Amino acid sequence: MSSVGLDISDQSIRFVELKETKNEFTVKKFGQRNIEPGIIVEGEIKNSDAVKKELAALHDEFKIEFANVSLPEQQAYLLKLNLPKMKPIEIRGSLELQLEEYVPISPGEAVFDFDLIKSVSGQEDYLEVGLTALPRMVSESYASIFSGTGITPLTFEVEAQSIARAAIPKGDKGTFMIMDFGKTRTGISIVSEEVAVFTSTINVGGIALTKAIEKQFGVDTTEAERIKKEEGFAKGSNAQGMLLTLMSTISILRDEINKHYVYWHTHLDQYGKKRSKIEKVLLCGGDSNLAGFTDYLSSGLKAEVELANTMVNVNTFNHYIPEIEFSESLSYATAIGLALRSFE
């Protein structure tokens, strides 16, 4: 069977359908529907009927029956915990008893899940788990919007973990920082051992760059988008003016990346040991491929910054080239990761 990943955000609903072939996958279908501002705000559904309408339209147009669905990382808590070694069946109960120590949600009002990472190195009597928790009312609000749409949700997963599954080669146990540069916000996550163990959201996105260009050059939104995509941070006749225009916005992102990067490497874990080194900073999201963007962000960082290959676990491209272009695939990272979940 094919698998559909459905990414619901403040601005759009995107989906990718993957079909398994011989040891690889093909992109069967992909697409999106835009959402009017105010329907979903910072991951909180404000108008469920409007979202249902868009989901029903997706079902009718693309014949989507089942899907793995994203949950907003703005509403979630992700962290890595060490537990005394126990049977796998006992882990959930142990986490539930300790939940209030780690997240500001009472057990009765929380929904949580975990990934077993490994036994703690040098501490064989302990287990390392990645915990994800969010308010029950958030998860229930996302489950309820599928009623009557024709789409049945199979699983729900926080965006950061889905993006990690898409952007990091399967089996790579290294540590990476991922920056998802969206339209209205930017998600920063740290992934270790293929599990997202930290996430932070900044309310700065591509729209802020577009508005800055509109104001500086006196152009409309369409022209501002063109200037942003074609010129970005690249060297050229307007390079200095563009850099000054975008600096106030992008410098916030660079400072946040640097802050989390430094904190990760300078604070020891609970056993007093150094954390694993962040090998790369991977960028995805609709505006992440602006000209010169990776070079600008890498200045001042000791880690390499590059655009994520969100299709790295989909296909080798030796026998098949997906219809989705590389620049467009950066916007579909969450949906791709969700679709891949069914084949784990």
Per-residue DSSP letters for 260-316? HHHHHHHS--TTS-PPPPEEEEEEESTTTT-TTHHHHHHTT-SSEEEE--TTTTT--
Cα 29 to Cα 51: distance, rounded to the nearest angstrom: 21
Which residues in 94-126 are b (16+ Cβ under 10 Å) and which e?
A: bbeeebeeebebeeeebbbbbbebeebeeeeeb
Which residues, listed in sequence order, are joined to residue 132 by a DSSP beta bridge? 78, 113
Q: Where are the beta strands (DSSP E) in the chain?
A: 3-8, 12-20, 25-34, 40-41, 44-45, 66-71, 77-84, 110-120, 123-135, 152-158, 175-181, 186-192, 195-202, 278-284, 304-307
- Site of tokens 């064989």: 124
Residue 237 reports pLDDT greater than 50: no
pLDDT number for residue 293: 84
CA-based max dimension of the chain: 64
Residue 121 reports pLDDT greater than 70: no
Distances 296 to 73, 186, 235, 269 between C-alpha atoms, Å = 26, 16, 11, 30
pLDDT number for residue 321: 82
Out of 152-161, 205-214, 293-302, which region has the weakest mean confidence (pLDDT)?
Answer: 293-302
pLDDT number for residue 30: 96
pLDDT tens digits, 16-43: 999 998 878 999 999 999 999 999 999 9
pLDDT number for residue 165: 96
Residue 302 reports pLDDT greater than 80: no
Both structure tokens of 255: 């400072």
As a whole-number percent, the residues of the chain with pLDDT over 70 amount to 94
pLDDT tens digits, 169-224: 999 999 999 999 988 889 999 998 898 988 999 888 888 889 888 888 889 999 98
Q: How confident is the model at residue 291 (pLDDT cuts 50, 70, 90)?
A: confident
Q: Looking at domain 3-208+244-341, which of 3.30.420.380, 3.50.50.60, 3.40.640.10, 3.40.309.10 is its CATH number?
A: 3.30.420.380
Ordered by start, the domain boundaries in the chain are: 3-208+244-341
Residue 122 reports pLDDT greater than 70: no
Q: How confident is the model at residue 315 (pLDDT cuts 50, 70, 90)?
A: confident
Both structure tokens of 250: 């992008």
SS3 227: helix
To the nearest whole number, what is the mean pLDDT of the chain? 89
